[in-house]
Amino acid sequence: MKPGIHPDYHPVVFKDSSTGDAFLTRSTMTSDRTVEWSDGNTYPLVLVDISSASHPFWTGNRRIMDTAGQVEKFHRRYGQRGTGGAR
């Protein structure tokens, strides 16, 4: 590897903002926030919206996220369609 061209690769704590779960790993990401980890060292803290602790694929929980009212918008635009067969 050429010296001086690679970003700094260091330990970083990632924290899931929805569940509060945190994990220590290595990354090139930086942050102004820091957290003291259980080993007594202080590491940069990066907040993430979704991690394996909150993602429906990994948790098995299904969540419907309809913050913009997309279902209601669809029903207003196209109306309630019947479940009838071919005409």
In a domain, 28, yes or no: yes
Q: Which of 43, 41, 48 is nearest to 21 (CA)?
A: 48
pTM: 0.62
In a domain, 79, yes or no: no
* Measured distance CA(56)–CA(59) in Å, rounded: 5
pLDDT at 62: 65
pLDDT at 72: 79
Domain harbouring 47, CATH code: 4.10.80
In a domain, 69, yes or no: no
pLDDT at 77: 82
In a domain, 63, yes or no: no
Per-residue pLDDT of the chain (87 residues; tens, 9 = 90+): 788 899 999 999 999 988 889 999 999 999 999 999 999 999 999 998 888 787 766 666 766 665 567 777 777 888 876 665 555
In a domain, 36, yes or no: yes
pLDDT at 49: 84
In a domain, 21, yes or no: yes
What's the structural domain count of the chain? 1
In a domain, 72, yes or no: no
31: domain range?
1-57
* Measured distance CA(29)–CA(47) in Å, rounded: 11
* DSSP E strands, 1-87: 10-16, 22-27, 34-36, 42-48
In a domain, 73, yes or no: no
pLDDT at 2: 84
For 12, list phi and psi in degrees, rounded to 5. Answer: -140, 145
